[in-house]
Amino acid sequence: MELNEKLIIEIKKNSIYRLEENLRMVLICIDKITEKDLWNKPSKKGVALGNQIIHVVGNMTQYLISSLGEKKFNRERDNEFKIDKRMTKSSLINMLSNTIQESKKTITKLSVENLLKTRKVQVYTLSGIGCLIHAVEHFSYHTGQIALLTKNITNNDLGFYDGIDLN
C-alpha cells in the first residue's frame, strides 16, 4: 500500500472516530436533561440544545452527505434555529444518529479523487478534505457547546470519561 492510500485511510478512520466520539458525548448530555430543558434558550441570543442538534444535522448533511456524497440537498439553515417543542429527545437522537450513520457510509466510500475535488458549499470553495474537516470540526464545536449547556443545566459533571484514567 502506498503512502497516499495510507494517509487517506487514516483521515477517513479518524474522521469517523471523531464523529462517533461526539455522538457518544451528545447522547450522554441529552440523557441528563429533561424534554423541557431541550428547548430552553440559555440567553436571549443563545441557542437551545434541541436547535444545536438540528443545526449539526443540517451542517453535516450539507457538507458530508450532500457535498461529498454528491446527493441533492436543499438546506434551510435559518429554520434550524426555530424552536419546535414537538420534537422530542428521542426524535432528535434518532435524527442525529441516522445522520452520523449516513455520514460514516459517505466517508468510507470516499475516493482520493473525491477528497481532492473542489466544490462550492455555502460561500466556501473547499476540497473534499476541507469539507470533511469542516463537518467534523463543526460537530466538535457544537458538542462542546452542548456539554457546557448541559453542565449549566444539571450542575453536574457529565462523566464522559468515567472509569478511565486519563493521566
Residue corresponding to grid cell 440567553:
43
Query: In this structure, is residue 50 part of a structural domain?
Result: yes
The domain in which residue 117 lies consists of 3-154
Per-residue b or e along 111-139, where b marks 16 or more CB atoms closer than 10 Å to that residue's CB: eeebbebebebeeeebebbbbbbbbbebb
Residue 167 lies inside a defined structural domain of this protein? no
pTM of the model: 0.93
- Number of folded domains in the chain? 1
- Work out the pLDDT band at 5, boundaries 50, 70, 90: confident
CATH of the domain at 67: 1.20.120.450
Residue 52 lies in a domain: yes
- With a cut of 90, say whether residue 72 has pLDDT above it: no
Confidence check: pLDDT of 18 > 90? yes
Averaged pLDDT, 105-122: 94
11-32: b or e for each residue (b if 16 or more CB lie within 10 Å)? bbeebbebbeebbebbebbbee
Residue 160 belongs to a domain:
no
pLDDT of 87-100, one tens digit each? 899 999 999 999 99
Domain assignment of residue 161, yes or no: no
